[in-house]
Structure formats: C-alpha cells, structure tokens
Amino acid sequence: MKVSVIIPTYNRREDLAELLDSLLLQTYKPLEVIVVDDTPTNDIADMCGKFYNKFRERDVNLIYHKNLRKRSSAIARNLGVEKSSGDILMFFDSDVILFPDYIEKILEVFMTNSRALAVQGWIINIERKKFYYLRQVFYKIFCMSHHAKDSCRLFEYPSALTKVIECEALSGANFAVKREVFNHLQFDGNLLGYAYMEDLLFSHSLFKRFPHSLFITPYAKCIHKVSQMGREEKDKLERHKQRCRLYVFTKLFGWKGRLLYNWQNLGGIILKISKRLIKD
C-alpha cells in the first residue's frame, strides 16, 4: 500500500518538527509527506526545507504547499488530498508524535479487514483531571465528549483499548482513509480557521453512509500534545467553537442537532456552576 501523509499546520514550527522526526523513524515508509501551511510567514517553509534531504535519504518525498485560499484546517486537508497520490491517506494534526510502528499497525487493520475505509490510532496520553470518573458520568448524560473502555462511539473515546474495535467517529489528530472515500466525501470548507469538529462531521458522515467501516486500533499509538501554539485567545476561540458545533450538529442531524447543541450547552452551564461552588 502506498501511503500519503497529510499535515495541515498553522504557526506550529516546533511541534511540526517533532512530528516530522517521528515520521522519519517509521518502520513502514510513506510514499510522501505533504505539509499544507496556513501560516502567513515563511517559518514553516524554511523548517520544511531543512527536513527535505532527511526525507529524501529515506526515499520519501517531502512536499510543502502554501494554502492561498481561506485559512482553514478543513480546506488544508482537502488541498493535501488534491496533491496526494497514495492509496491510503493519513491525516495528522501537527502537534502529534507517532510511535515508530504507527503506520505499520494502521495498515494491518486495512489489510485484515476488507470493510475498513478509515482507521485511527490510539492517543495514549489521555488527561485524567480531578473528579475524572464523576465527570465521565456527567459528560455521558449530556452527550459531551467522554471516555469508556473499549468503546468508540459518537462523543466517546476509549480510555483503555485492548483490541481493534469499530468506531462511529474519528479523532482529527490522527486517522487514515482509503483514497476511494474522497469520491463520496470531502472535508467541509465552510468551517474556517481552527475548523472545530471537522473531523466529526467528515467521519460520522462516512459512518452513516458506510456503517461498520471505521476502526480504531490500540497497536498504532501516538501522543497528542494539544499544543497551544496557533490557537486564538480563549474567549474568541470559545465563540468560534460554539458556531462550529451548531453548524456541524445541524448538518449531521437537522433539527435534532439543534436540540443536541442546546442539551450540551445546558450541561456546560451546570458544569461551570458546579466548578464555582466547589471553589467557594
């Protein structure tokens, strides 16, 4: 299988360098690594230039592409698809670090399961904050993102994963898709900037069209640093995420999506009040 790696990035020079280093160590070499840059400066281009020969020595083509369209991680992913030539397209956020056998283990799922159209690896550094288990119950009631063992449903990500299982959605931080999928779907370019929930919109649409085609494997491991580089200020980011969430839910579920949006917001309000009471 020929693998194309696609990395959208914005103002994450150091994070991207760590990801590229981890790609150089892969036991299964990709055909090409495509960096789609939303950064207005030349920092990313200069850094990619320093990596070019390192990838060339491994017979991997490092391709840098400046996104001259509207800034959007969704648009950047689509540009990467246009530039790619692999059979399997792997998408990574630029603040991810891969274990050396990540690509190899992802391909094993495609090769052993004929139904697989998309496969994601497992993010191992899940943060367990104060009152973690109580929070998970609360989040589940209000259909918010939560964790569960050996389960990967909508808004649910495995806290522990012991086997390859089916998914209802994929994490945008790391996932792989067969090229043929893009004959039916693409990432939604209406989601601009930090295109919050673009991964859920794309992957759950794929799940609805082709059930039993999404998988997650515990053997393809990665670390998602959730870098603060390239992000907007907190209040502005929160407003942006609210708009994206309403758009995605409405597009996926129609009027039920608006109910889901309001239900999650109610959960968020209760959570904020609870935090204030605990502090007091």
pLDDT per position as a tens digit, 45-73: 999 999 999 999 999 999 999 988 888 99
What homologous superfamily is domain 3-132+152-229 in, according to CATH?
Answer: Spore Coat Polysaccharide Biosynthesis Protein SpsA; Chain A (3.90.550.10)
pLDDT in tens, 104-163: 999 999 999 999 999 999 999 877 666 777 888 898 999 988 888 888 888 888 888 999
Burial class (CB in 10 A: 0-12, 13-18, 19+), 91: buried
Beta strands in the chain, from DSSP E residues, in sequence order: 3-9, 32-37, 61-66, 88-92, 96-98, 118-123, 146-148, 156-158, 165-166, 174-178, 214-224
Number of CB atoms found within 10 A of residue 270's CB:
13
Domain limits of the chain?
A: 3-132+152-229
Q: How confident is the model at residue 234 (pLDDT cuts 50, 70, 90)?
A: confident
User: What are 261-272's pLDDT values in tens digits?
Assistant: 999 999 999 988
Check if the beta carbon of residue 263 is closer than 8 Å to that of residue 142.
yes
pTM: 0.92
Count other Cβ atoms within 10 Å, centred on residue 128: 11
SS3 at position 71: coil
pLDDT band at 186 (very low <50, low <70, confident <90, very high): very high
Tell whether the model's pLDDT for residue 8 goes beyond 80: yes
Q: Are strands 156-158 and 3-9 parallel, antiparallel or unpaired?
A: unpaired
C-alpha to C-alpha distance for 108 and 28, rounded to whole angstroms: 11
